[in-house]
Amino acid sequence: MATAIPLRALNNIKYNDSSSSLSAKTKLIDAREHSTLDDYSSMTEDEYTDEGFATYSNSLYRRRARDSGWTDCLSLSRLTECLMGCCIKIRNICKEEREYHSRNIQIGQVIEADFPPNVTRNQKYSLFTFFPCVLYEQFRFFLNFYFLMVAVSQFIPDLKIGYLYTYWGPLGFVLLVTMCREAFDDFKRYRRDREINNQSYKKLTRRGTKPVMCSDIAVGDIIIIDKNQRVPADMVLLQTTEKGGACFIRTDQLDGETDWKLRLAVETCQQLRSNRELFSINASIYAEKPRIDIYDFVGTFNETDNNVQEPLNIENTIWANTVVASGPIVAIVIYTGSETRSSMNASNPPTKIGLIDLEINRLTKVLFVATISLAFLLVSLKGFQGPWYRYFFRFILLFSSIIPISLRVNLDMGKIVYSWMINSDKEIPGTVVRSSTIPEELGRVGYILSDKTGTLTQNEMVFKRLHTGNVSFGMDSMEEIKEYLRSVYLSSPSGSDNIAGASGRSRMRNQPLELAHEAILTIALCHNVTPVIDKSFDNVIDDGSTSSDDDADIELSLSTNDNRIDYQASSPDEIALVKWTESVGITLVKRDLSSICLRLPNGQILRYAILQLFPFTSERKRMGIILRDNASNEILFLMKGADVVMSHIVQYNDWLEEECGNMAREGLRTLVVAKRILTREQYHDFDTRYSQAKLSVNDRAAKVNGAIERLEKDMKLLCLTGVEDKLQVDVRPTLELVRNAGIKIWMLTGDKMETATCIGVSARLISRNQTIHTFKQVSNRPEVRIELNTFRRKNDCALIIRGDTLDVCLRYYEHEFMEVACLCSAVICCRCSPTQKANIVRLIKKHTKQQTCAIGDGGNDVSMIQAADVGVGIVGKEGKQASLASDFSITQFRYIGRLLLWHGRNSYKRTASLSQFVIHRGLIISVMQAVFSSIFYFSSVALYQGFLMVGYATIYTMAPVFSLVLDVDVSADIAMTYPELYKDLSKGRSLSFKTFFIWIVISIYQGGTIMCGALLLFESEFAHIVSISFTALILTELLMVALTIRTWHW
């Protein structure tokens, strides 16, 4: 009798971590069930540990297994237990999560630690896993597994009915076609991955620079990255060409934001005269262990010689798959391959199985039950005498054509034809089918989940309108403003006080243009834009200096008309505004951390000192700057922001709210610009309060905001600007088209709420008369319940919600929220991380049971594309990463309409007709076999043998039946003109149990009529009954094909 193990053993077990604890507990439980007290009485003190106890238990198990003998080892329970144990171990090995570690990277030295290779890999298979994985994916389908069992049964003499090639030939052909298709698709992925992995970069070494491929980059390498070049790995920025160590990066492919992000080099490294000095300093970088958060980083820079320690944060990093917007730069690699932020936010590419394949798989199970039932019926009528079970299995094999193996062949070849048609469609040029297994799913889409940046928009900001209160200046008025500014400055004396003098003389002459002048000057100053001229690191390597130009030289070069100025900023809106001021004559020529310089139409340079800068945040929804005019010493407080907050800051007016609404209806992104002149006393009072607030330990953010808000009162309203984010071509009609087709549209973006709302209105995702419900920020269960109840009471509204708020809602009321959200005609989720996008797709699939289509163009959309039933990638400015990981690649968003409504419709309709006809073709010959066996004393003899059975599904009927893949029910023009026809497809009526049983009745009727008619009408030709019935069968099938086809192609 088993007893508990000694308490001494329990108390002395040492648990190193949670996994070892679980392992030890499992072993203890197993010991309680199978061991006796005497078994553990011989354990020594050292063995009462986790490892010692495991070792002792394993030795005890081996001793028992040896003593029990071979009979016990080969028992069914023992074999089952061993098999399950092996499967569990294999599963644990395959699913074992990699353990991440922090690292200390010595600058300029080779790192010997084992880090993952910096390889991009989107392949599904490797050389060793191809055959096992493909075979598993094929035989997980009941249809293929059934025919494998049927083919294997032919090796048993008592069950053998025909020739082996009758069963193994079709099965081998199916597997060969599938393997060739999967190998071809995976080879294309391999070539795309190789193109990325072979991209060349410049690696900085002690002997200079040398080329290195992306896949050969390792942790600790120092890489020089040029402007507009993709960042190959996660890095810490060491040096830039800017004197202050600043550079800008584009993060479109990581977080979906079009805003350029400012990054700062490590101060100690930036101060070095040459990047070759990086190898002479004794410095190291501590980097935290890799994690999924793309908005945070904790690290430290340590220089031992001078005892310098600098904290590193997100501003010092550049993540993989971002793009350097101002360069070149020098950076050191800290994470590679699977440890990069972009890889950790991406999910493994799943093997997608179409809904129609699952439906056909269910139908084959019904057919299998019918096969068993029919065999059992004939055996029952024959009588359970003799070896009846042998007859039973032989009848199952005789009726195996009820489940036609040619079904998989026809469906797979049909998918290839559909893919070729999509690739060859001249109406959607550049479209590529990257996964040929799911073209039918294009015809069943119920939800489209689209990215914003680069998908719905072109990612180009264009200034459209300026409203000063009494006059609205559009694009047709820009020349008038330009001429006015030219006349003002060219007719005035030099010096910065010319502005006031010229303004005073012209105010009475042309007040609307003077108001525009003041607004333009404020717009040119109130921003966070930096003008740059392209530079090179050649001077760093050759001359040993990071910047050889002083401020005077920079101003001179930038103020020269021959030089082209590039602008960099964290917001494309600001760049659009600054470019517009340049077009009318006031040009930003210099910007650093302490000053701003403007060039006027007469060539004069205005200089301002930056006293304070208040960046834009999603909470404040505004940005401000305090400047001092170097010539007049006048202190200016300039601000611009969203109308919802600026309306309470500016002085009373009666036009702002109305004009904001007008511009919003036009789809323009609005900003309110205001100004206030501060006295020296006011500024010094603010500066004192602001400095004290920044030094506060408790509630620092609240105190800083309070100090700023003391200034934000009674500001003069100057103007309202309107900027357009240019939409992709035909986005509005395309969205209207798919909406009329019954498809609901969700926009998932990492951008700000205000920006996402403007694009939703501009693209007509939100109709003009539709109410917008913005889900408030919530943090706990009661707040979520209150806001959900408020949202539930609104009808036919568009929902706008932030990603963090969505997480809180799903934590407490997942089902309730999804139930209400799915009733909305449009949903916009902003500030979504790549992982959140994928989770939203999975939630929609879970709660609606409808097919989803995800559309994106950046690396941050890959997880969403792979999680959706249909993933569509757009080749655009953000690169090809989404396109390479998608199922279908297009070049413009407007092509999605034809892809779904025409090609999706045809693929689904054709597959539904083809599958049911192939089932009918196998069922009718089985009915004839059943009639034949019943008439001839229930004998288990095949009616058609050998080549007749193989030729029936190949030579005689394959081409006519396969012609159904060319059939169309409506023309392309009708399908695109009447998108409502698509609604019927999502209901799955073309392939349902109703249509399936109709074809079964037809098969039974035709098979019984052919066999009974042949026996009755040709009784005198009984010796030729096989030929007669087979001829009638072929003619019947050809006639049925002719009647089933809806459009004949002459």
> Widest CA span of the chain, in angstroms?
122
| Cis-peptide into 328, omega within 30 deg | yes
Numbers of helices and strands, H then E, in the chain: 38, 33
The rounded distance, in Å, linking the Cα atoms of 504 and 518 is 12
Dihedrals phi, psi of 575, to nearest 5 degrees: -65, -40
The rounded distance, in Å, linking the Cα atoms of 682 and 679 is 5
> For residue 679, what is the DSSP state?
-
Torsion over CA: 187, 192, 195, 197 (sign): negative
- Sequential DSSP letters for 303-365: ETTTTEEEEE-GGGEE-TT-EESS--EEEEEEE-GGGSHHHHTSPPPP----HHHHHHHHHHH
Dihedrals phi, psi of 829, to nearest 5 degrees: -110, 115
451 is catalytic: yes
| 208: enclosing H helix or E strand | strand 208-213
Residue 594 region by backbone torsions, left for phi larger than 0, else alpha for psi between -120 and 50, else beta: alpha
Residue 896 has which token pair? Answer: 């999605």
- Residue 281 sits at the vertex; the CA angle it makes with 277 and 286, to the nearest 5 degrees, is 120
The rounded distance, in Å, linking the Cα atoms of 709 and 308 is 37
> According to the 3-state scheme, what is the secondary structure of 231-277?
CCCEEEEEEECCCCCEEEEECHHHHCCCCEEEEECCHHHHCCCCHHH
Bridge partners, residue 466, by sequence: 473, 721
| 409: enclosing H helix or E strand | helix 406-424
Sheet holding 260-264, edge to edge: 260-264, 246-250, 323-324
Assess contact for 870 and 438: CB atoms under 8 A: yes
The rounded distance, in Å, linking the Cα atoms of 774 and 792 is 13
The rounded distance, in Å, linking the Cα atoms of 680 and 101 is 53
Residue 464 has which token pair? Answer: 């459209």
Sheet holding 317-318, edge to edge: 208-213, 200-205, 222-225, 329-335, 234-240, 317-318
- Residue 171 sits at the vertex; the CA angle it makes with 170 and 176, to the nearest 5 degrees, is 95
Cα distances (Å, whole numbers) of residue 802 to 258, 376, 809, 845? 17, 60, 11, 20
Helix (H, G, I), strand (E, B) or coil at 667: coil
Considering the candidates 185, 221, 255, 451, report the single residue annotated as catalytic: 451
Q: How many CB atoms lie within 10 A of CB 19?
A: 9
Q: Where are the alpha helices (DSSP H) in 443-550?
A: 478-490, 498-507, 511-525, 538-542
Tell me which amino acid residue 999 is: W
Cα distances (Å, whole numbers) of residue 464 to 186, 511, 576, 673, 847? 47, 22, 10, 15, 42
The rounded distance, in Å, linking the Cα atoms of 971 and 979 is 12
Bridge partners, residue 450, by sequence: 747, 855
Cα distances (Å, whole numbers) of residue 541 to 202, 232, 273? 13, 22, 10
The rounded distance, in Å, linking the Cα atoms of 1038 and 574 is 68
Dihedrals phi, psi of 43, to nearest 5 degrees: -70, 140
| Active-site amino acid positions | 451
